[in-house]
Amino acid sequence: MNFVMPDFYPAAAEIFLLAMACAILLIDLLLPPAQRWVIALLTMTTLVGCAIITFFTIDGQVVLTFSNMYVDDMLGDFLKLLVYLSVAVMLVYSRGYLAVRGLNKSEFYLLVLFATLGMMVMISASHFVSLYLGLELLSLSLYALVALDRDSARATEAAMKYFVLGAMASGLLLYGMSMIYGATGTLEIGGVAQAIYHGVANKTVLIFGLVFLVSGLAFKLGVAPFHMWIPDVYHGAPTPITLFIGSAPKLAAFAMSLRLLVYGLIELAGEWQLMLMMLAVLSIALGNLAAIAQTNLKRMLAYSAISHMGFMLLGLLSGVVGGDRHFALNAYSSAMYYTVSYVLMSLGAFGMILLLSRAGHEAENLDDFKGLNQRSPWFAAVMGIMMFSMAGVPFFIGFWAKFSVLLAVVDTGQVWLAVVAVFFSLIGAYYYLRVVKLMYADAPEDAAPIQGSLDMRLLLSANGLAVVLLGLFPEELMRQCALILLRSL
């Protein structure tokens, strides 16, 4: 048996991040407690280094390495750059919150780095084994991060629920992969597609495996009816961890869904489209209806996330119509555009919760936003931008995200599906606009000055402006999403 040396160059960013994480782990042992800020600095430096490496290794070619377990393409490079950006923004938003609560620990930064590594592996996986390894590295890191505040019973309970349900979902996903392996005889995603195309796979076993696979994906995306963990984890975890869970992992989950369903199982599109349709309609309906009853903003945004991921699924299921793949690029690019837009809006919304929080007070209830315009007109405007955009009000990025997905659905002839999505979006607009009403029409219950470091205020302001500018000029990002998928599919 001849061993073929893999090409390490496409995975340079992952190798660099792993090396830096190990180095930070050792450096932490030598640092006195007063110098723990060095760990935060090294973590940010690591993310910047990964971004530089990823940017300069982009060549527009699709490269397979590590025995076809890893793929380097434009899709992976773009999503990784967005992951670095999202994680860096989260770290800036979180620093003050963690410091006043005694949670600014080295393990926080190390777990974030290992979770980022897991996302990077998921995004570039072209093999069931590498995909599952990346997913578990991300999941195990998130379980520990949710329980970071060991003195909080709420956080510990949320972590336990997340761990138990996550283990069940991982089992479903792994069982589905094993059945697909049994039917096709290969673990390579590309090999699975070839086996199904040439008709050498057992169709019955494939369908059973597909059901388990989609169920596992649905849990990781947080869509109904596999959404049980989302509200409790979003509410119970420290707000920076909620911000983390609600942003960058969505990009990795989108990549995992695209690689499995489109790259590997496109010949079974007729079967998995029906499953995604049921998941999408149920998620949009349940998410928007349940969010209306929430008085806790984190729980409201959790149910909102369920409905947003339902919209993303609408884009994924619109790529193939009766075996015709003419609509594939438009549909999948709209799903990608929606995911990117949601991550940007989620960062801003949870960033505002962190900005208003202070020592001894969690600004996570709707009443905490009463009269915000009187306390800070600018940041009331930033929060208003996030709420309007999530509601799909023109002309913010959220409007174009919804519009592009609905257009993809209508192009396939499923007008009824677009009507259902619009109907529940109109219902969902209520709970977003309720936050705006509280900020501008109600008297403040808390007159405490808004605290926050200068870099956090500037970054949060830039976040709000990005939502506005990308809404006024949406063409470039849409075009980039389509171009990236065209070069990667």
Ordered mean pLDDT values, 10 residues apiece, the chain (489 residues): 74 94 91 83 95 89 87 92 95 89 87 95 93 94 91 89 91 93 91 87 88 92 87 91 93 93 88 91 93 91 94 88 70 93 94 84 84 88 94 91 92 89 92 92 78 87 94 92 86
CA distance 276 to 258: 13
Question: Would you give the distance in Å from CA 66 to the centre of its chain?
Answer: 26
At residue 343, the pLDDT reads: 95
At residue 105, the pLDDT reads: 85
At residue 153, the pLDDT reads: 87
At residue 101, the pLDDT reads: 84
pTM score: 0.94
Domain coordinates of the chain in residue numbers? 9-488
At residue 320, the pLDDT reads: 74
CA distance 24 to 165: 31
